Amino acid sequence: MRTWMWVLLTGACTGLGVTAATVVWPIGNNIEKITQVGDVDRGAYLARASGCIACHTNTEAGGAPLAGGAPLKTDFGTFYPPNLTTDPEFGMGSWTVEQFAKAVRQGISPSGDPYYPTFTYSFYANFTNQDIADLWAAFQTVPAVNESALPHDTAFPFDQRWGLKLWRAAFLAPTNVEPVPSKSDAWNRGKLLVRGAAHCAACHTPRNIAGARISSKRFAGNALLPVGGKAPSILPDDLEAEGWSVDDLAYALRSGVTPSGDVFGGSMAEVVQFGTRFLFDDDLKAMATYIMDSDI
Ligand code: HEC
Ligand code: HEC
């Protein structure tokens, strides 16, 4: 599983020149000034839809909101989602909105380092300046927690952040949320949410040995979720064969109850509990409309 990354990264390490070049290699694009006035409610809604609160809060351990999440086990190590409260020392209290935008849309820290893709930033690349301003306004309302999240537990070479620059160059691709004019407004809204904020593909698309999603197999299911368990295919034909309709899907994303009367288990139960059950009816219907017709 890890062999390929070892070859790539240790190969790069042995060539010191290459290493040095990679370490100083600048990444990302400049962020224009964000002048939009944020809307706290809209930001809180988007934070729910995007899983920010779910990942960055350790609910099970009774952690304060956004003060740091439960450990995420992956093939490359265990990651601890950091403190995103207004604390200036351990949270984002001393950040600017532009630094926040760069972290969320581009996966790059205020000091210019790349973030691990365990942070689902690639799905947020299309957030508008208004989306960012809204999220930022909502995050400003979060009480400061003066506590650091645990450091990630990764072994060499995965503890070398600069190596992620190679990963980005090889695998980082923008999410396609372009509207399709021949489709309904609901379908297009659904596409924006499902392919973007709600990041359904993070679990429902299989990954290659370097942990990157295989885009030609989008939504075809992932039999080896790092968190354990298996995410089934959510391709329209497979869902139809299992008896799902648009209404069933919208209902399941609200309630966690499937057409056969079962309830979602594993990480899908959490997707509903911390995310989709808070969404407006119209948005759930839109997401279901897109998923049941996501072939293009
Ligand atoms: C699947 C879990 C997950 C989700 C969903 C998620 N994050 Fe994160 N986030 C992480 C992890 C893990 C890191 C640490 C990445 C690293 O250290 O390279 C992180 C890092 C960050 C950072 C950098 C913090 C710092 O101290 O440098 C910011 C800002 C952030 N996330 C904001 C968000 C926002 C906003 C959302 C929702 C739009 C979000 N995250 C959704 C897991 C997640
Ligand atoms: C954190 C991982 C994760 C994310 C993100 C995720 N899912 Fe799932 N999903 C799962 C798992 C695991 C299952 C299997 C649940 C079970 O076994 O009960 C599942 C099951 C499903 C099923 C049932 C399919 C069937 O044939 O029974 C549907 C439909 C579904 N997910 C839709 C979605 C949608 C829509 C999104 C985006 C809003 C999404 N999922 C995001 C992990 C995830």
Query: Is residue 18 one of the residues assigned to a domain?
Result: no
Asked whether 250 lines ligand 2 (CB < 6 A), one says no
Q: How far apart are CA 217 and CA 260, in angstroms?
A: 26
Query: Is residue 196 one of the residues assigned to a domain?
Result: yes
Domain membership of residue 110 as a residue range: 40-171
Q: How far apart are CA 196 and CA 200, in angstroms?
A: 8
Q: Which of 141, 171, 201 is the last residue of a domain?
A: 171
Question: Do 236 and 128 belong together in one domain?
Answer: no
Of all atoms in ligand 2, which is nearest to the CA of residue 263? 18
CA-to-CA dists, residue 262 to 8, 89, 236, 257, 265, angstroms: 44, 45, 20, 6, 9
pLDDT in tens, the chain (296 residues): 455 555 455 555 555 666 777 877 778 888 889 999 999 999 999 999 999 999 999 999 999 999 999 999 988 899 999 999 999 999 999 999 999 999 999 999 999 999 999 999 999 999 999 999 999 999 999 999 999 999 999 988 888 888 999 989 999 987 889 999 999 999 999 999 999 999 999 999 999 988 899 999 999 999 988 777 899 999 999 999 999 999 999 999 999 999 999 999 989 999 999 999 999 999 999 999 999 999 87
Query: Is residue 218 one of the residues assigned to a domain?
Result: yes
Tokens of residue 72, six digits: 């995420």
Q: Which residues contact 281 (CB under 8 A, 6 or more apart)?
A: 250, 254
Global pTM value: 0.93
Question: Do 44 and 167 belong together in one domain?
Answer: yes
Question: Do 163 and 266 belong together in one domain?
Answer: no
Query: Is residue 1 one of the residues assigned to a domain?
Result: no
Question: Do 201 and 133 belong together in one domain?
Answer: no
Question: Do 147 and 60 belong together in one domain?
Answer: yes
CA-to-CA dists, residue 148 to 28, 87, 88, 107, angstroms: 26, 10, 11, 20
Of all atoms in ligand 2, which is nearest to the CA of residue 51? 5
Of all atoms in ligand 2, which is nearest to the CA of residue 291? 35
Query: Is residue 148 one of the residues assigned to a domain?
Result: yes
CB atoms within 10 A of CB 217: 17
Q: Which residue has the tokens 């949270």?
A: 91
Atom 16 (ligand 2) nearest CA: 265
Tell me how far the alpha carbon of residue 259 lies from the centroid of ligand 2, in angstroms. 14
38: region left, alpha or beta (phi > 0 left; psi from -120 to 50 alpha): beta
Q: Which residues contact 128 (CB under 8 A, 6 or more apart)?
A: none
Question: Do 223 and 152 belong together in one domain?
Answer: no
Ligand 1, CB cutoff 6 Å, lining residues: 47, 50-52, 55-56, 72, 79, 81-82, 84, 100, 103-104, 109, 115-116, 118-120, 124, 135
How many domains is the chain partitioned into structurally? 2
